[in-house]
Amino acid sequence: MKKLFAEFFGTFWLVFGGCGSAVFAAGVPDIGIGLLGVALAFGLTVVTMAYAVGHISGGHFNPAVSFGLLAGGRFSAKDLVPYIIAQVLGAAAAAGCLYIILNGAGAFSAEGPGAFATNFYDMPGYNGRSYSMGAAFLAEFLLTAFFLIIIMGATDKWANGKFAGLAIGLGLTLIHLISIPITNTSVNPARSTSQALFVGGVALQQLWLFWVAPILGGIAGGLIYKFLLQRDGGEEIAN
């Protein structure tokens, strides 16, 4: 149960900090943190929770990461479903808190692409471009695959484990810098689900992509590291 609580609170913090920075602070006149700030916020949530509770649960906070670590031989299949449930519940609880806070100022809106930090495709994004379903799928797949390679490499027993959380958090920051203009960045089905539940409509209709692409990408990344990169005897430090 402690592992599941760690996943719940870790995913809660990821959504509350990452999506919260997007909905509260990204567009504030004069002091708005913008794309760089939101990307850094997502990275910081992972860094802080990796060191806070990563030693308890392994610090997944993301169903795609759990699938990827399972494929890479770093995670037990019997824990997969409980972990995913804890992650989705933690993300949904965070989104609920964000919703309540926004409503306290009468500021919640479900209109337009990216409303309430939802993910999207086939709609004009922040740079005015509309990326197709195929482009969005490829971006989410590749970025999640590389995220798993970063995670598995940073937590390998041959790596310096003291810096694993920092490497993983900076990796997530870079991922957001690349893909916020494309899909508003998912690479995490729990994060996508939590926001779409409150917005509904197109966000829910498109949610399938932000489950399928990250999970397939995570599995690919896990397999690539296990069979092409991992040294003999490589293993996760915090399991």
Q: Which residues pair with 156 in a beta bridge?
A: 236
Dump pLDDT digits (tens) for 169-207: 999 999 999 999 999 999 999 999 999 999 999 999 999
**239, pLDDT greater than 70:** no
Task: Pick the more confident residue, 127 or 220.
Answer: 220
Domain count, the chain: 1
Q: Is residue 236 part of a domain?
A: no
* Backbone dihedral angles phi then psi of residue 169, each to the nearest 5 degrees: -65, -40
pLDDT at 234 over 70: no
Q: Which amino acid is at 31?
A: I
* Residue 100: inside a domain: yes
Q: Which residues contact 73 (CB under 8 A, 6 or more apart)?
A: 222, 226
Domain that holds residue 68: 1-229
- 28 confidence band (pLDDT: 50, 70, 90): confident
The three-class DSSP label of residue 20 is helix
pLDDT for 238? 43
Q: Report CA 50 to chain centroid distance, whole Å.
A: 13
Give the pLDDT score at 142.
98
Quick check: is 234 in a domain? no
Residues 6+ apart with CB under 8 A from 56: 2, 3, 6
At residue 156, the 3 state secondary structure works out as: strand
Q: Enter the tokens of residue 126.
A: 């922040």
Q: How far, in Å, CA of 34 to CA of 37, rounded?
A: 5
Mean of pLDDT over the chain: 94
Task: Report the range of poorest mean pLDDT among 13-27, 35-49, 99-113, 223-237.
Answer: 223-237
Q: What is the pLDDT of residue 237?
A: 44
Distance (Å, whole) CA 155 – CA 168? 9
The pLDDT tens digits for 83-130 are 999 999 999 999 999 999 999 999 899 988 999 999 999 998 877 899
Specify the pLDDT at position 74: 95
Report the pLDDT value the prediction gives residue 235, as an integer from 0 to 100: 56
**24 falls within a domain:** yes
8 Å CB contact between 149 and 64: no
- Residue 237 located in a structural domain: no
CATH number at residue 210: 1.20.1080.10
The stretch 139-155 carries a mean pLDDT of: 97
Whose CA is closest to 210, among 190, 182, 239, 230?
A: 190
Is 21 within the bounds of a domain? yes
Whether the predicted pLDDT of 31 surpasses 60: yes
Residues 227, 214: Cα–Cα separation, whole Å: 20
User: Mean per-residue pLDDT for 205-225?
Assistant: 98
Contact 231, 156 (CB under 8 A): yes
